[in-house]
Amino acid sequence: MRLILLGPPGAGKGTQALRLVAKYGIVQLSTGDMLRAAVKAGTPIGRQAQDIMARGALVPDDIVVAIVAERIQQPDASKGFILDGFPRTVPQAEALDRILTRKGLALGAVIELRVDEDALIRRIESRIAEMKARGEALRDDDSPEVLHKRLAAYRQQTAPLIDYYRKQSVLRTVNGMAPIPEVAAAVDRALPAEPAAGRAQPPAGKKKRVRTAAPAGLGKKSEGRSARRRPKPPAKRTARPRKRKGMASRGR
């Protein structure tokens, strides 16, 4: 199962991804988490992305695509994965298609969590206020100003992915403003059906050809045909000289 979760910041993609990971035993591939881990570790990519992320801008495609291509090759992603926060642009989606094609893979579904932006802003601002009240540390991008920038970036660069994947017939839209249990149920209904275990069945409309056994004593050329036997020629008899009447009395 290979999925993409689409939606603006705060739509609940992370919540649904964690639930799907626990339910199906697949891995969540969040480019945000990977980039933040790189920033914390001080890697070259992390240092390059740190200032960009703090401003709420998008990380360049070449960096993100390289991270994703390397990550899906790892063994824990062989059973399936959820891409959260990637792709963000149509060029990234095209790059992902090329990566999957080279590996002989395909997406199972793209789940769009559709939300109302005004309600979303109020939700995020409330969450930030609660985090501050609890004394929790905020990330650099946890602020209303950055949120507005990220929403604008989503509308401009990421929203076109909805049409991109709709044309591929893999897009499924879910109401992200519903209560979390309802969103979860809707996401589960939108997932592709898992193939049944066991031997693969022949495609519909094609019947397996069954060969009937030939009758005993018939060769390959006579399968399904009545046996034609040639009559045996009559046995040859040795000719005996005919006796004529009166021949035995001659010479007396």
Query: pTM to 2 decimals?
Result: 0.64
Mean pLDDT of successive 10-residue segments in the chain (252 residues)? Answer: 89 89 90 77 78 77 81 86 88 93 91 89 81 80 76 87 95 93 95 54 42 45 47 56 49 44
pLDDT for res 64? 84
- Per-residue model confidence (pLDDT) at position 153: 84
The residues pairing with 83 across neighbouring beta strands, listed in sequence order, are 4, 29
Return the pLDDT at 194: 62
Please identify, in words, the CATH class of the domain defined by 2-190: alpha beta
Beta bridge partners of 4: 83, 110
Active site residues: 13, 88, 127, 139, 150
Query: CA-CA distances (angstroms) from residue 28 to 21, 34, 72, 76?
Result: 6, 11, 10, 10
Collapsing DSSP to helix, strand or coil, 183 comes out as helix
Q: How far apart are CA 166 and CA 187, in angstroms?
A: 17
CA distance 224 to 242: 52
Cα–Cα dist 14/187, whole Å: 13
Q: Tokens 């697949």, residue? A: 26
